[in-house]
Structures are given as C-alpha cells and as structure tokens.
Chains A and B, each alone.
Chain A
Amino acid sequence: METFVFFYFASIIVLTAGFVVALKNPIYSALALLVMFFHVAGLFVTLHAEFLAIIQILVYAGAILVLYLFVVMLLNLKREEHFHGQFIVGLFLGCVLFAEAVLLVLKGETTLGENLADSAAPIELTRGNTESIGELLYSTYLFPFEVASLILLVAMVGAVILTKKGILEVKG
C-alpha cells in the first residue's frame, strides 16, 4: 500500500515537473508546478512531516506561485521563443548527470541501507510533529532562525529597490 502511494505521488511529481519545463505558455507551467507542490506535500505527509506539508502548501502554493502568476500576467507576454539553441547539449548534460546520480545510489545502496538500519530510531510520537520542530527551532537552531529573518528582510528591501522606478535608470 505504502509503495503504491509512493509511486502515485512520484509519477505525478515527475510528470508535472516535465510539464513545467516543456510547456510553452508560462501560465500552464506555473499551474503544473502548483500540482507538483501539492503532490510533494502529500509525499511529506507519508513521511510523517505534517508540519512541512502544510507549510509547503501555504508558502509555495499560496505565496510563491501566486507571485509568479502575478508577474506572468503583469508582463503580458506574447508567446514567442521556446527552447534555447543549446537544447541538445542541455538535454544531454541533464541525462548524464541523472545517470551518474542513479549509479552512485545503486553502488552505495548496500552501505546506505546498513547505516540506516543501525541508527533507525522512530521519531517519538509522544509529541506532535509541529511541537518537536518548534522546540528544535528555538533551541538548537535559534541563530540560523534569526539569520533567516534577516535574509527575508534583505530580500524585501532588495525587491522594493529593484522595482522602484528611477533608481536603476542610467543617469543622463
């Protein structure tokens, strides 16, 4: 059963990821990405990461993708272009990289499995997923957490400055 669920999610994820790259219209690409985000969230639920599944839907589907669609519609693109001239080279490079990754995994699978079997400790179910993550975030990862807020602040300032008219234009 679990295997079946995994293969359902995995096949939809790969299919929609292919659509994102292959479709001509950017709006269709963004919508394919939306479907992919939902299925990644489903995969997170099967991995007992419920908090991240919700965050994935809220942040990715709710905020990031809406921003993309907003910009796509704002720019009012004519449908020109499609693939770059280096199409063949890019495809070839991607396939080679993927083959390398698969080879590495297949070669290292025995040791990987053993190590995991040794240290496999089920996450304690006395507390919820969200509670455990929150405690970890505010104790061990307190400093990175603060840095993350700083990154968001810098991104906000950067976005405002970049889109404000009259700052980037060349003088004279």
Chain B
Amino acid sequence: MDVPISYYVVLSGLVFSIGLIGVLIRRNIIIILLSVELMLNATNINFVAFSSYLGNLSGQVFVFFALTVAAAEVAVGLAIIIALYRHSSSINIDDFRLLKW
C-alpha cells in the first residue's frame, strides 16, 4: 500500500464537491441526477479504500447496497422526469415552481 489513505479521502472529497456544485448550478434535471450519481460514487470510493486498508470486507458489502439504492433512485428519478416532461414539456428546473406561493 504505497498510496496513503488520505489521498483516497481527498479524491473522494473532490468528486463529491464537484457533484454538489453540479446539483447547485445546473438547470437540467438530468444533469442534476447525474451529479447525484457522482456523489454516490465518491462515497463508494471512500468505502472501498477504507475496507481495503482496514482488511475488513464490510465496506465492500455496503458499496453493494449503495449500488442497489442508486439503481432504485435512477429508476424512480427518471420516471419522475418523464412525468414532469409530459406535464409541461420541459425539464428546466426553473419551470417547476408549483410548490412556490
């Protein structure tokens, strides 16, 4: 293990921050969901790195569960996007202010 674990933590923090910025600044809902995928992947990198360095396989099992949840999130998220697009022919986040008074 030549690479210190802090490198992995910094890499994962960087990817997570990029994903967070993407969620905050983009208007396209699809890109926002893609950015959420980025954040999930950042946590996965962390899990696997710590699992490998601690010699404990539980971290890898948790990545497995994170994958499951990511798949479910994508299925429901894309279904919502399609329903929204049918409703107002747009996936620009600025067009959806139904809950705003």
* Chain A contact residues, CB within 8 Å of chain B: 1-3, 6, 10, 13-14, 17-18, 20-21, 26, 29-30, 33, 36-37, 40, 43-44, 47-49, 51-52, 55-56, 59-60, 63-64, 67-68, 71-72, 74-75, 77, 80-84, 86-87, 89-91, 93-95, 97-98, 101-102, 105-106, 109, 112-113, 116, 119-123, 129, 132-133, 136-137, 140-141, 144, 148, 151-152, 154-156, 158-160, 162-163, 165, 168
The size class of the interface chain B forms with chain A is 35 or more
Which of A21, A48, A140, A152 is in CB contact (< 8 Å) with B71? A152
Q: Is the CB of B48 within 8 A of A20?
A: no
Interface of A: prevailing SS: helix
Q: Distance in Å from the Cβ of A161 to the closest Cβ of chain B?
A: 8
* Residues of B51-73 contacting chain A, CB below 8 A: 51-55, 57-58, 60-61, 63-65, 67-73
Q: Is the CB of B20 within 8 A of A97?
A: yes
Per the bound structure, the CA–CA distance linking A40 and B34 in Å amounts to 15
Number of A-B contacts (CB under 8 A): 234
Q: Taking A17-B18, A133-B61, A136-B61 as contacts, is the C-beta distance between A123 and B55 under 8 angstroms?
A: yes
Per the bound structure, the CA–CA distance linking A56 and B44 in Å amounts to 10
Q: Distance in Å from the Cβ of A51 to the closest Cβ of chain B?
A: 7
**B99: CB under 8 A from chain A?**
no
> Which of chain A's residues have a CB closer than 8 A to the CB of B15?
13-14, 17
Give A81's nearest chain B residue, CB to CB. B27
Q: Is the CB of A155 within 8 A of B76?
A: yes
Q: Is the CB of B22 within 8 A of A21?
A: yes
Give B89's nearest chain A residue, CB to CB. A75
Q: Distance in Å from the Cβ of B83 to the closest Cβ of chain A?
A: 5
